[in-house]
Amino acid sequence: MIQTFLFDMGNVLVSFCHDRMCRQMGALCGLSGSEVKTRIIDSGLQWEFERGQVTPEEFHCRFEQAVDVTLDQNHLAIAASDIFTLNESIPPILARLKTGGHRLVLLSNTSVWHFDHIQERYDVLQLFDDFVLSYRAGAMKPDPTIFEAALKVIDCHPRDCFYTDDIPAYVEAGRQYGLDAEIFTDTARLIQQMSRRGIVMD
């Protein structure tokens, strides 16, 4: 019986666009989005940030060095984070699961800027009981460290935890840890997946 639901965030709860992030950051320093992508994504700096290997202050400093421009850190954080759109069909599902007595845990590769932005902009994260975040865990999916962190907070046997993620490799990794995992494509399919497990949405 499913007791806990483990949800990914990006492209499940919210959609996002790294290209938009790079364009907006580039607009602050007179560079194209592709030039910013080279400096933060291709270089691995963004992934260091999402693993918590660099602080916001260090990310800000290293970005300034990479683009040779002095920038306000708050302006940079906004440009980097105003890239999300809520999946409006998901909050009612989460609310129904909560009223049904299920535990909700978020498992996400994210940075502190992105997580804080979503938490401030949308109410959806208030429905969750716990958060397993890459920048806190020091590892990104599919690294074993972050899945081991998730297993500690789901508060049930892995087979009684349903995990959904839009990345097939992450779903497969979850299955390796015994989680009942399915690929997320859209909310309608998620409802079908839940129904097959005896959880019916009106």
Confidence of residue 56 (pLDDT cuts 50, 70, 90): very high
User: Average pLDDT, whole number, for the chain?
Assistant: 97
pLDDT in tens, 58-112: 999 999 999 999 999 999 999 999 999 999 999 999 999 999 999 999 999 999 9
Question: Residue 40 phi/psi, 5° resolution?
Answer: -115, -30
- Name the pLDDT band for 201 (thresholds 50, 70, 90): confident
Domain annotation for the chain: domains and CATH numbers: 4-14+87-195 (3.40.50.1000), 18-81 (1.10.150)
